A and B are shown apart, each in its own frame.
Chain A
Amino acid sequence: DTAVSQTPKYLVTQMGNDKSIKCEQNLGHDTMYWYKQDSKKFLKIMFSYNNKELIINETVPNRFSPKSPDKAHLNLHINSLELGDSAVYFCASSQDFRVRQETQYFGPGTRLLVL
């Protein structure tokens, strides 16, 4: 059984388009995250939600808007895509954002390429 899943796995699109990435977890966790991995493999948090409520919002352009319809889903919508948005986007989940020792489990990643 897949614990954290993301769709699509690959996304190739033109500059200026709007696209969405979906994430779902079946672990019963309360907290979900979006991380971005750049071309140098560096991973950085973008957002986190706890039970549909935004908890962390890093300095991410307004073109990125997360949406959590329920605690098992966290989607990422990106408007007006730019070349610099090309990266791998990882979704993750953990039991409770207040608990630092909670392990975050990651999805398989979505490879976004903006042409």
Chain B
Amino acid sequence: AQKVTQAQTEISVVEKEDVTLDCVYETRDTTYYLFWYKQPPSGELVFLIRRNSFDEQNEISGRYSWNFQKSTSSFNFTITASQVVDSAVYFCALSEVGGTSGSRLTFGEGTQLTVNP
């Protein structure tokens, strides 16, 4: 069975600090896809990034960066110079095997990030 673990339940930082959210996954698939979603206090789920298992290049988007390491089955997310608006619950997710069963997302438990002014 596939599994996603976000060991950090809550993180609290002060504005402008850098923060890294950890994500570790388990899968038997050789091809798989990983995602990060953000859930701000307003409640919606916002897609941030998708990464496939063949591409281990790190990705940067503004203050956000992602570090994918297949050897350690990790897909960590770093926010540089955090801002109060980054306060949210962040979910890491793994896309399960398709075929007749269809594609589904297995989510981690989420990390509540609080950025204090």
Contact = CB atoms under 8 A, between A and B. Distances in A.
Interface stretch (A15-23, A78-86, A91-99): A91-99
A106 B43 CA distance: 11
Interface stretch (B12-20, B28-36, B62-70): B28-36
B107 A101 contact: no
Q: How large is the interface on A (under 10, 10 to 19, 20 to 34, 35 or more residues)?
A: 20 to 34
Contacts of B96: 100
B3 interface: no
A97 B112 CA distance: 29
B13 to A, nearest CB: 19
Contact of A98 (B31, B50, B99): B99
Interface string B47-64: 100101000000000000
A100 B98 contact: yes
A107 to B, nearest CB: 8
Contacts of A41: 39, 89, 109-110, 112
Interface of A: 31, 33, 35, 40-45, 48, 50, 55-56, 88, 90, 92, 94, 97-109, 111
A98 B110 contact: no
B102 interface: yes
A101 B31 CA distance: 10
Given A88-B43, A109-B45, A55 B102 contact: yes
Contacts of B95: 100-101
